[in-house]
Chain A
Amino acid sequence: MKAFSDALPSPFFGPAAIQPPSPAVRLQRPAPPPDEASLCASALAGDTAAWSSLVQRHNHRVVVSLLARGVRIHRAKDIAQEAWMRLVEQQRQGRLDRLQLPGLAVAQAGFLALEAMRRDANVRRHDPIDEPAVSSCLRDPHCDAESTMLTQERVSCAVEVLSGCSPSAKKVFRLAYGGDGLSHAEVAQRVGLSLQRVRQILCEVRAKLRTALEGEDER
């Protein structure tokens, strides 16, 4: 973890990235937040601030994807951080043509998690001393790929359940989970509801879909 933070050339994860604005800034009229496309374009051009914004916006999603693979929380945060570093590195080397987030970061983090698992499994004696064993998490029988794989039938059932929700609930759900990387605040802005209301709607829809998706796994 420390090694990742030290290697970071810019304040993506440091305190500067999460500091509240100074009082002088607070008095100014707040500028509208830049949209995802312009942020990605700036990041591809090497803009550090754009990268920082994108990390703040999508990092939680990357961590959740690793948690879903059975990686423990602190390790998941480390891997997510490393994934972002790899992306920045690739951009600086000119190997990044386009930036589609959070999908690219999720894929990179998944690759790193598998890579760490293989490394840990095959050449245990070459592992760094301070490297926690990711494989112990990934090998967890409750988290293997087969048990996590959703059948098409359940997904179809969940889609049917979703189609029975109100139009506004469906819209909120699709905006939040549709892969555009919108935060809940942005979803609220788009549909003209409060952030609390959006989260309430999401919780209600999740509760309905949970039964359809969990199926017989609920023991």
Chain B
Amino acid sequence: MSGHHATAAELEAYVLGALDEGRVDGFEAHCAECDECARALAGEARLEVAFETVARRPSRVPVPVTRPLRAAAYGAAGLVAMAAAVLLWFGHSPATAATTGDGTAAAAHHTMDDGAILDARNDALDGG
């Protein structure tokens, strides 16, 4: 072992504590002497420490995304629709009341007005 550099697999196995017992002494002896392998071992050890940080971080749970602007827009649109419906309802109701009760005169007046407009148009077409 002390003759050749540590491989990536050996470095990982050592840090994991999974290197064969028979190779541990040779591995450690080499890393004690070889600057390059000592640096590589330190890097592998840093990764090991970093993995603990990762493991302690809570995993991302998919949370339903709330978009406040979009929700407000939907709410405003709903309110506008309701207001329009109310306006339409109250806008139609006098006409229906007029046709049912004493609004016959008014209805007749409307009919006369329409007839006058038609007459005027016909006169215009005739050139009068």
List residues of chain A with CB under 8 Å of any chain B CB.
Answer: 60, 64-65, 67-70, 72-74, 140, 142-143, 148, 150, 155-156, 158-160, 162-163, 170, 173-174, 176-179, 183-184, 199, 202-203, 206, 209-210, 213-214
Beyond A178-B56, A209-B51, whether A199 also contacts B18 by CB under 8 A is yes
> CB-nearest residue of chain A relative to B40?
A142
> Across the interface, which residues of A come within 8 angstroms of B52, CB to CB?
177-179
10 shortest interchain CB distances as A-B pairs: A177-B55, A67-B45, A68-B45, A68-B46, A68-B49, A158-B54, A159-B57, A177-B52, A60-B17, A64-B45
- State which of B16, B31, B48 has its C-beta within 8 Å of the C-beta of A68: B48
B27 nearest in chain A by CB position: A73
Interface contacts beyond A65-B49, A179-B52: sample of 17 additional A-B pairs, CB < 8 Å, sorted by A: A64-B49, A67-B42, A73-B28, A73-B38, A140-B39, A140-B42, A142-B42, A150-B50, A158-B50, A162-B55, A170-B59, A177-B54, A178-B55, A183-B17, A206-B51, A209-B51, A213-B54
CB-based contact A73/B41 at 8 Å: yes
A-B pairs with CB below 8 Å: how many?
Answer: 91
Q: Say which residue of A65, A140, A199, A214 sits within 8 Å of B47 (CB atoms).
A: A214
In the assembled complex, B53 has its CB within 8 A of some CB on chain A: yes
A155 to B41, Cβ gap below 8 A?
no
B19 to chain A, nearest CB (A): 10
**Can you list 6 pairs linking A and B with CB atoms under 8 Å apart?**
A143-B42, A155-B50, A158-B54, A162-B54, A163-B59, A177-B55
Residue count of chain B within 8 Å CB distance of chain A: 28
Mark B residues whose CB is within 8 Å of A: 12, 15-18, 28, 31-32, 38-39, 41-43, 45-57, 59-60
Whether B12 contacts A155 by the Cβ 8 Å rule is: no
CB-based contact B42/A150 at 8 Å: no
Of chain A, the residue at the smallest CB distance from B37 is A73
- For B16, give its contact among A72, A158, A184, A214 (CB under 8 Å): A184
Residues of B within 8 A of A184 (CB): 16-18
Q: How far is the CB of B22 from chain A (nearest CB, A)?
A: 14
CA distance A209 to B17 in the complex (A): 19
Q: Which residue of chain B has the shortest Cβ distance to A68 in the bound complex? A: B45
Question: Would B42 and A68 count as touching, CB distance under 8 A?
Answer: yes
Provide the residues of chain A in CB contact with B15, threshold 8 Å.
64, 67
Residues of B within 8 A of A183 (CB): 17
